[in-house]
């Protein structure tokens, strides 16, 4: 019923939810506490339902503010609203375990990535989304070259269907920042790479984060949901976060919209 109305409704627009479901048992990044949800009031007790949530904002499908990793840059509430809405493209760049998305991959993506686009990348890894080592430790990802290419292209926002904007071995999962959170990956990577250390191939800590966020380009992590249904299409995309003062990020509902008839119009603002 919900999905039917999403694509067949009185607006004439088709709505596609690119967010993972969120709730108890939520997959979380390796150093985050579990999400807690408590019923303060229930129907049998109070005749109303009121719940309290304890969570980090970087869980599930969520958006990073520039201030998340770059000091002196805007917090969530300081980002202009147009940055979260506009024309966009959903591109397929299939990748396997530990593979890196390159600038060449982005340059050759179809439909072509244009200046001002909201770019959503489908690697196929969202099909593994779970509280698992497969999803968090062994995924593919963006890194320095791709981040710099997207920033130079002057895209508006970037989303990807993996655990972070950066390749897992370029984060604290690998030997960076407070890491390595998962020390045994070092030996596994040497066996995988023919003897090279992680730091040889991933020398920088979250360079894609820094390339994007330092240029005011917010990033969305853990994209999923109906992503495959709009892959290879140009869409209108929206992902509005909370107006959270000093916010470093926010759980978000990421939505792609398609207007097949071209008849939908935003109201003009006139009184009549």
pLDDT score, position 213: 98
Question: Does any domain span residue 9?
Answer: no
Unique residue bearing structure tokens 């030997």: 175
Domain count, the chain: 1
Question: Does any domain span residue 269?
Answer: no
**Is 142 a residue whose pLDDT tops 80?**
yes
Specify burial of residue 176 (Cβ count, 10 A radius: 0-12, 13-18, 19+): buried
Specify burial of residue 104 (Cβ count, 10 A radius: 0-12, 13-18, 19+): exposed
Question: Does any domain span residue 40?
Answer: no
150 in Cβ contact with 106 (< 8 Å) = yes
Which tokens go with 259?
């207007």
91 in Cβ contact with 113 (< 8 Å) = yes
Question: Does any domain span residue 155?
Answer: yes
Residue 133 sits in a domain whose CATH number is 3.50.30.50
Domain that holds residue 82: 15-20+56-258
Question: Does any domain span residue 217?
Answer: yes
**Is 82 a residue whose pLDDT tops 90?**
yes
Question: Does any domain span residue 60?
Answer: yes
Quick one: what percent of the chain has pLDDT higher than 90? 97
**Is 272 a residue whose pLDDT tops 80?**
no
Question: Does any domain span residue 193?
Answer: yes
Question: Does any domain span residue 26?
Answer: no
Name, in order, each residue with C-beta under 8 angstroms of 97's C-beta and a sequence gap of 6 or more: 138, 139, 140, 192
Kindly state the average pLDDT of the residues 120-138. Answer: 98
């Amino acid at each position: 019923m919900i999905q039917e109305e999403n694509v067949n409704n009185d607006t004439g627009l088709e709505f596609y939810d690119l967010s993972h479901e969120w709730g108890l048992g939520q997959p979380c990044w390796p150093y985050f506490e579990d999400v807690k949800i408590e019923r303060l009031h229930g129907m049998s007790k109070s005749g109303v339902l009121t719940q309290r949530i304890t969570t980090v904002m970087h869980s599930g499908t969520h958006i990073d503010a520039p201030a998340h990793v770059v000091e002196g840059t805007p917090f969530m509430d300081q980002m202009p609203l147009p940055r979260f809405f506009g024309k966009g493209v959903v591109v397929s760049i299939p990748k396997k375990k530990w593979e890196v998305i390159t600038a060449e991959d982005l340059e050759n993506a179809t439909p072509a990535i244009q200046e001002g686009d909201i770019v959503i990348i489908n690697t196929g890894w969202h099909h593994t989304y779970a509280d698992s080592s497969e999803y968090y430790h062994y995924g593919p990802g963006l890194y320095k070259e791709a981040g710099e290419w997207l920033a130079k292209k002057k895209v508006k926002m970037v989303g990807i269907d993996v655990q972070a904007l950066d390749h897992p071995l370029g984060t604290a999962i690998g030997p960076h920042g407070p890491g390595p959170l998962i020390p045994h990956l070092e030996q596994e990577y040497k066996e995988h790479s023919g003897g090279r250390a992680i730091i040889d191939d991933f020398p920088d800590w979250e360079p894609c984060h820094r390339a994007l966020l330092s240029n005011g380009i917010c990033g969305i992590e853990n994209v999923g949901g109906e992503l495959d249904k709009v892959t290879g299409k140009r869409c209108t995309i929206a992902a509005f976060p909370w107006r959270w003062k000093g916010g470093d990020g926010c759980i978000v509902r990421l939505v792609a919209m398609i207007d097949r008839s071209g008849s939908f119009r935003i109201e003009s603002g006139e009184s009549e």
